[in-house]
Structure 1
Amino acid sequence: MGSMTFVQNSELFSYSGTNCVRNDYYHNECQLCVDICPERAFHIVRSKLTLFSSECIECAACIGSCPTEALSIKSFDPNAYTTSFKEEDDKLLSCKKTTSCLGSFDSHHYITMALTSNESPICDMAHCKECSLNTNGKIESFIREEIKKTMDFLTACDSEYSISIQEEKPEDENAKRALFKAAFTKVKEAVQEEDEQESIGITLEYQKASGFTGLPLKFLNLKKAIRDNISKLPKTTHDTNFGIFANKEISFKDCTNCGDCVNFCPTEALLKTTDKQGINFNVGNCISCGICNHICKTDAIKTTGGIDLVNFAYDRGTELVHYEMVMCHECRCPYPYRGGDPICDRCADFRVDFSHVFTLAKDM
């Protein structure tokens, strides 16, 4: 991201246009927050995402939907809550008691809480259907989908960890809350004491000190949780990505080594090899934004299923493609050599398309 920042605020809620993947890349069509917002406070203006702060009711239901953590609220930090969850006496995630709307979490948060706590998190879904925020059932559907991803992941890993859903209301609880904003009466401290940083998790300060701030904090916390508990996950390689992770492959035949996918990747998941003649991929940094797929002029890069949790957690990169760069004998420019005559695609196409221009009269 650039040094300039663009942030819109209501009283408690903030939207960072600088961190928004849609604003970072003009052709990206992400509008997850637009779709889930119960008050239609987000609008697409000239292909850019804009918050109409006067329409925002600060419910926090949209926060978990954002892949780049461009959305936040002062009264509740899902990352701080996630990393301190193991210290919580009450393992019930409930907008009535302990958290904001469960829409502020996604599967990265749920998995981290499940892996780092001795007791399984319990998601209170008893109030979601009748909630005034649950317009057309979108928020409830989002929450259940993220919990399902978490369940599928933990089950596939043959893990001893789990997550569950509470569907019924306690008998002593009122049928409805008077105001849904009462969920924000309990404010979580986002910044922990220095001597607790390692046990609580990776903090925003650590992220900034590392010199790379493009990766969402929920990814860093999840990677740490997997590293710390990798021995308790019997199965670490999978054929599916659970809708949580992303994998990439690049066609040697189609790739021109132009570097556009590397240049436009917002999280440095794609990097040039040290000799600049190939492309490496770090699955632990990929946020599934799809920019690389769209920017590739030859459709050489594809998203594939499958995940190796060791590679994800330990940032082990893989080489997707590598070329020998040779000099084109026509234009004298280097290009990725694939065999045959040493001529680049541009010159080869030119030779075919304009061969008639150079035909002599005697040969016609």
Structure 2
Amino acid sequence: MGNINFVQKSNLFSYTATRCLRNEYYHNDCRICIDVCPKGAFHIVRNKLTLFENECVGCAGCIGSCPTEALEIESFDPNGYAASYQHHEEAPTLTCKVSTPCLGVFDVEHYTVMALRGDKSVTCDLSHCAGCVLNENGKLEESIRAKVEGANQFLETIQNPHRIETIEVKEEQADRRALFRKGFEKVKESLAEESVAHVSMTTAHHKLPDMKMPLKRILLKNSLKEIVGGMETTAFAISSPLFFNKQINFETCTNCGDCTQFCPTDALFPTSDKQGIYFSQGKCIGCGICEDICKPNAITSKEGFDLVSVAYERSEQLVHYEMVTCHECRCPYPYKGGDPICDRCTSFMAKHANMFTLARDM
């Protein structure tokens, strides 16, 4: 292994460091791919995620877990597969033995998109997961089942008739390692032609200028646009594994702008006059950077999501201030009432009051 590259490849598998949350924000501690990788191919080097190419087997089990799509495999694109799922004459069963790589290649968004766009429920064959050679520590199966459960939770919440159904009956397996190698080679061969269109879809998306939104989120929002018009209720007061909500405390926020600067998808962005902050729920991927970077802890998560706002990327103004000039330092600051003195000067005078004491008063 040499220096940390922007794009690292291991056979068909690639990791793009510039899309990784750990590179977006130095203090981010995302380690989803590290925890789910069955071979321990990901490592933290100088607080940056690094792929050890010689340890990666290209199983694709980690791909669906990455919130920013920094992980890809050339032989299969989950975005292209999910987008074209409805066009199959007969919806195929999702199985690592025939139609796909490891089902860890899909995220909650992919499963949800396939259920929303298809005319019946989606079937996943999970009968091989527990005994799979890649599932030695149980983390990969746990991750796959959590995504299926998250998709079903959302589909049930919005009262969609379709679900992600699972096949649990286990078949007798002779040599698990031989089956894995055979199955993986079969997938590469069967998808050699049609994967070109799939791969070009995600690759083209990532090449667009200033495109920060993961394609799987865009596919989900486009799928929601097709159904929200016929829904009786689009606003829900509960939490969701797909959508995240934020609130900002007016009294503690200093309008420093760090949260808008470091938000990887521009879910938080400043108002035109730079005196307030907007939030777009449809763009938020729940990375937690905004909450971590906020020094006064003014940003917190809250429950609730609205499908119309998500689908059409509507934004709400979370906070807005009137900027006034501090009477002490003459710098503009967000005014919150009382004497026109900024928090910095107020704090300074409180901590160093003895400096302003006259000799006659001592």
Query: After superposition, where does 1:105-184 map in structure 2 within 5 Å?
Result: 105-169=106-170, 178-181=178-181, 182-183=183-184, 184=187
**Match status 1:357 vs 2:358:** no
1:64 corresponds to which residue? 64
Partner AA of 1:221 in structure 2 = L
d(CA) in 2 for partners of 1:327, 1:18: 39
CA distance in 1, matches of 2:119, 2:197: 21
Counterpart of 2:137 in 1: which secondary structure? helix
**Structure 1 residue 208: deviation in Å?**
4.5
Following the alignment from structure 1 to structure 2, what is the Cα–Cα distance between the partners of residues 164 and 12? 30
Over 3 Å counting, the alpha-carbon distance change for 1:228 and 1:191 in structure 2 is farther
Aligned to 1:187: 191
Structure 2 letter corresponding to 1:331: C
Equivalent positions of 1:214-225 (< 5 A) are 214-225=212-223
Structure 1 unaligned segments of length 5 or more: list them. Answer: none
CA contact (8 A) 1:91 1:120 kept: no
User: How far apart are 1:25 and its partner, in Å?
Assistant: 1.0
Match in the other structure for 2:260: 262
For residue 240 of structure 1, report the CA deviation from its aligned partner. 2.3
The number of equivalent residue pairs is: 351
- Once residues 90 and 271 of structure 1 are traced to their aligned partners in structure 2, the CA distance between those partners, rounded to angstroms, is 40
C-alpha spacing 1:107/1:305, structure 2 compared with 1 (3 Å): same
* Aligned-partner Cα distance in 1 for 2:157–2:141: 24
Q: CA 1:180 to 1:116, structure 2 compared with 1: closer, same or farther past 3 Å?
A: same
Match of 1:345 in 2: 343
Distance 1:161 1:235, change over 3 A: farther
Distance 1:274 1:328 in 2: 22
Residue 18 of structure 1 aligns to a residue in which SS?
A: helix
For structure 2, list consecutive stretches of 5 or more residues without a partner in the other structure: none
Q: 2:313 aligns with which of 312, 315, 318?
A: 315
Rounded to whole Å, the distance in 1 between the matches of 2:203 and 2:133 is: 33
Q: Quick one: distance in 1 between partners of 2:344 and 2:280? A: 31
Contact 1:249/1:302 (<8 A) preserved: yes
The one-character-per-residue Cα deviations of 1:302-358 (angstroms, maximum 9, x if unpaired) are 111211111111000010100011011111111000000000000111121122111
**1:303 aligns to what?**
301
The letter for the 1-side match of 2:78 is P
In 2, the alpha carbon distance for the partners of 1:167 and 1:269 equals: 39
Distance in 1 (alpha carbons) for counterparts of 2:133 and 2:332 = 61
What is aligned with 1:98? 99
* Contact 1:8/1:14, CA 8 A, preserved across alignment: yes
What's the counterpart of residue 237 of structure 2?
Answer: 239
CA shift at 1:212, angstroms? 3.0
Q: Distance in 1 between matches of 2:224 and 2:164?
A: 16
How far apart are the structure 2 equivalents of 1:206 and 1:125?
31
* CA gap 1:35/1:275 in 2 versus in 1, 3 angstroms: same
For residue 248 of structure 1, give the secondary structure of its aligned residue in structure 2. Answer: strand
Q: CA deviation at 1:207?
A: 6.4
Question: Residue 154 of structure 2 aligns to which amino acid in structure 1?
Answer: F
Distance in 2 between residues matched to 1:320 and 1:148, nearest whole Å: 31
**Identical amino acids, percent of aligned pairs:** 51
Describe the shift of the 1:292–1:138 C-alpha distance in structure 2 as closer, same or farther (beyond 3 A). Answer: same
Check whether the contact 2:205–2:211 (CA below 8 A) recurs between aligned residues.
no
Give the match's secondary structure for 1:136: coil
Q: Compared with structure 1, are the counterparts of its residues 100 and 213 closer, same or farther at alpha carbon in structure 2 (3 Å cutoff)?
A: same
TM-score, normalization by structure 1: 0.91
Give the TM-score of the pair, scaled to structure 2. 0.92
1:77-128 deviation per Cα after TM superposition (whole angstroms, max 9, x unaligned): 1001000100122331111111111101111000000000112110111110
Residue equivalent to 1:205: 204
Cα distance in 1 between the residues matched to 2:173 and 2:134? 18
Deviation, structure 1 residue 176: 6.0
* AA at the equivalent of 2:353: S
Partner residue, 1:9: 9
2:133 counterpart SS class: coil
